[in-house]
């Protein structure tokens, strides 16, 4: 159902069951999904991908849901890919928020998908990127990728998204954490959500001071705004800031720079992961690798010398 020349037309056709099936096959690394992706990939590159990240508890899912409403009001279709936090401590709460967002499922112009990053080799870099390509080929002009802002995933989003939205909440501690974690360095737009709570102005001030000290990406002034996702206050302005950034990317040539970087990151991550699988499967070890290991066992080579000799054979021009 999802392979062959007609997969693109089926994906963009009237049957609402095709897209979720293709996404599932791609997400599971199924050979049929990979074949479909090879077909679909040439039809990608039109979507604007917004990464939404930030520490647990700042209301990312609620803000995403609120953004989806504004985007629909602007008449555009939108796809949401929610990458579950791998921490079992926060998973529950975030999923709770998410269920409300899922209620929008009834609108055929909103596609919502949740996927687990836990235990996935390569994390965001592989499965998420592949699913984004499917959503892009399916014709969504906007794709929101919500990811837990913890560990590697928070900063990995920068290699996947055209616009990175970093979400914070009032409270100086969060701001300090954000500065430490490197999240701010990847932000194109920064939001202090839960702006109904005390401390919002302090948080805005701290973040502006942090950006003034740091080196913002691309020599651009980073918008730092306040939202209250539950009441919707500030969310229209946030969508305008995201659209402004999209225009800026096109006007300055930065979109193609980022796209090239994205392609490079995705390909090299795939190469690493494929080589990893290659070398960890003993039966795939080449004679040169087995010989080098045997010489290490006999102490004719140090491990470091063995590594050098193997790498030299692998990376010869």
Residues that bind a copy of itself (CB under 8 A): 34, 37-38, 40-42, 44-45, 129-130, 133, 259-260, 263-264, 266-268, 270-272, 274-276, 278-280, 284, 286-287, 289, 292-293, 296-297, 299-308, 310-311, 314-315, 317
Q: Positive or negative, the Cα torsion across 30, 32, 35, 37?
A: negative
Residue 288 C-beta: closest distance to a copy of itself, Å: 9
* For a copy of itself, the closer CB: 13 or 303: 303
> At closest approach, how far in Å is the CB of 39 from a copy of itself?
8
Min. distance of Cβ 131 from a copy of itself in angstroms?
A: 13
Instruction: Evaluate whether 218 touches 254 at the Cβ level (below 8 Å).
Output: yes
Residue 58 Cβ, how far from a copy of itself at the closest point, in Å?
22
CB atoms within 10 A of CB 62: 21
Q: Which is nearer to a copy of itself, 101 or 134 (CB)?
A: 134
The residues pairing with 144 across neighbouring beta strands, listed in sequence order, are 50, 80
Q: CA 136, CA 130: separation in Å to the nearest integer?
A: 10
Min dist CB 109 to a copy of itself, Å, is 25
Nearer to a copy of itself by Cβ, of 44 and 177: the residue is 44
In the bound state with a copy of itself, the residue whose beta carbon lies nearer, of 108 and 287, is 287
Residue 72 contacts residue 107 (beta carbons within 8 Å): yes
Q: Are strands 78-84 and 189-192 parallel, antiparallel or unpaired?
A: unpaired
Question: What is the C-alpha separation between 178 and 184, in angstroms, rounded?
Answer: 6
Task: Considering the complex, state which of residue 209 and residue 263 has its C-beta at the smaller distance from a copy of itself.
Answer: 263
- 69 Cβ contact list (under 8 Å, min separation 6): 232, 235
* Closer of 45 and 96 to a copy of itself (Cβ): 45
Burial readout 12-28 (b: 16 or more C-beta within 10 A, e: otherwise) = eeeeeebbebbbebbbe
* Cα dihedral sign, 12-16-17-19: positive
For the beta carbon of residue 295, count every other beta carbon within 10 angstroms.
Answer: 15
Q: Which is nearer to a copy of itself, 221 or 315 (CB)?
A: 315
Q: Which residues of 234-263 are buried (b: 16+ CB within 10 A; e: fewer)?
A: bbbebbebbbebbeebeeeebbeebeeebe
Closest CB 289 distance from a copy of itself, rounded Å: 8
Closest distance to a copy of itself from the beta carbon of 235 (Å): 33
């Amino acid at each position: 159902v999802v392979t062959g020349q007609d997969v693109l037309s089926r994906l963009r056709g009237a049957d609402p069951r095709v897209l979720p099936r293709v996404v599932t096959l791609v997400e599971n690394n199924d050979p049929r999904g990979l074949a479909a992706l090879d077909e679909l990939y040439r039809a990608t590159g039109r979507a604007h991908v917004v990464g939404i990240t930030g520490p647990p508890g700042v209301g990312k899912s609620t803000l995403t849901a609120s953004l989806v409403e504004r985007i629909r009001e602007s008449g555009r279709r939108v796809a949401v890919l929610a990458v579950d936090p791998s921490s079992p401590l926060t998973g529950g709460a975030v999923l709770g928020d998410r269920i409300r967002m899922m209620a929008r499922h009834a609108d055929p112009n909103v596609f919502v998908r949740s996927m687990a990053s836990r235990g996935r080799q390569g994390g965001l870099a592989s499965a998420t990127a592949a699913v984004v390509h499917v959503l892009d080929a399916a014709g969504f002009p906007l794709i929101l990728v919500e990811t837990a802002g913890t560990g590697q995933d928070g900063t990995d989003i920068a290699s996947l998204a055209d616009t990175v939205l970093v979400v914070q909440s009032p409270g100086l501690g969060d701001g300090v954490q954000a500065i430490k974690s490197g999240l701010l360095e990847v932000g194109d737009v920064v939001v202090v959500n839960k702006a109904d709570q005390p401390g919002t102005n302090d948080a805005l001030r701290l973040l502006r001071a942090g950006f003034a000290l740091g080196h913002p990406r691309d020599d651009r002034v980073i918008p730092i705004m306040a939202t209250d996702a539950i009441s919707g206050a500030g969310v229209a302005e946030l969508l305008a800031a995201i659209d402004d950034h999209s225009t800026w990317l096109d006007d300055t040539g930065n979109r193609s720079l980022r796209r090239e970087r994205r392609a490079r990151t995705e390909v090299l991550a795939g190469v690493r992961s494929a080589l990893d699988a290659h070398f960890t499967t003993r039966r795939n070890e080449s004679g040169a690798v087995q010989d080098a290991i045997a010489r290490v066992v006999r102490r004719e080579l140090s491990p470091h010398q063995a590594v050098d000799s193997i790498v030299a054979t692998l990376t010869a021009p």
